[in-house]
Amino acid sequence: MKDLGRNWLTEGLIDFEYKKYILLAYLQGVRNEFQERKLYPVFAELLTHYRHLVELKQNKSLLRERFPKELSGGDFEKLEMFYKELVDDDKVMSELEEIMEYSIPKLEEQLNEGKDIYEEVENGMSITPVGLYSLNASTGFMMLYVDGKKETKVYEYEITIFENAEEKFRGVHTQYLESIPRNQFTTYESIKVELSRKYPRFSNPATYLIDSKVAYPLEEALLPIAKRMLVRFLSTDTMAS
């Protein structure tokens, strides 16, 4: 699909019809991905573009900063004056505002479709602890199974914490380990025991099964949403304990 650069609004020709063409081409690509239930990375990128435009619309000084700044030394003065005239041009600013007025609802509409698909995928998934609880849930195994499939995918996970000046955030890093065949004699508890034997660096590893009723795309939907479910589950579980 066509990418949409971060500064697509202010780069190149400032013309409503031209920018509309660029945006619609990008959104068509987004729709194609969503039709295949591929949410990532396009959903996160779409959200970034939406927030960026809303921020620019609310702050004109940010809009000015988005104009190209790569000026050659010899032409610096001339080009600097050109950009200053450009951003001070009422007609240009009016054109940019018209583009934003058109683009923000279009991006929001596509975002809402993405949110609906996200909820569809997530509502078809469940998370369950496997075996005894571990005293350390920050690392362990995440099993991912799709109903009707003949194997369970196993990932090693590690919860990561990063923070800014105001709050802490939790994330998760996963590494694929293997796919384990499923049959009527295999239980998830027995899989956990076997994993503990094969990967002895874990002692009574925290292990969670995430089950999906539908075979959505793995890398573009199931795995990213499974990781978010795990982080949310562990956050809630930690607060409750």
Backbone region of residue 204 per phi and psi (left: phi > 0; alpha: psi in -120 to 50; beta: other values): left
Stated pTM of the model: 0.81
Strands 139-146 and 206-212, bridge-based pairing: parallel
For 214-231, write each residue's pLDDT tens digit.
999 999 999 999 999 999
Rg of the chain, C-alpha, whole Å:
24
CA distance 6 to 9: 8
How would residue 48 be classed by pLDDT, with cut points 50, 70 and 90? very high
Q: Is it the case that residue 102 has pLDDT exceeding 50?
A: yes
For 23-27, which contacts have Cβ atoms below 8 Å and span 24 or more sequence positions?
23/102, 23/103, 23/106, 23/107, 24/106, 26/1, 26/2, 27/106, 27/107, 27/110
CA distance 13 to 80: 17
Most confident range (mean pLDDT) of 57-61, 179-183, 201-205 is 179-183
Range in 14-18, 86-90, 212-216 with the lowest mean pLDDT: 86-90
Most confident range (mean pLDDT) of 6-10, 20-24, 92-96, 237-241 is 20-24
Mean pLDDT of 49-60: 87
For 128-155, write each residue's pLDDT tens digit.
999 888 888 899 999 999 999 999 999 9
211 has which bridge partners? 126, 145
Mean pLDDT of 67-77: 50
Report phi then psi at 177, rounded to 5: -105, -55
pLDDT at 75: 52
Domain map (residue ranges) of the chain: 16-123, 125-240
Q: Is it the case that residue 79 has pLDDT exceeding 50?
A: no
State the average pLDDT for the chain.
85
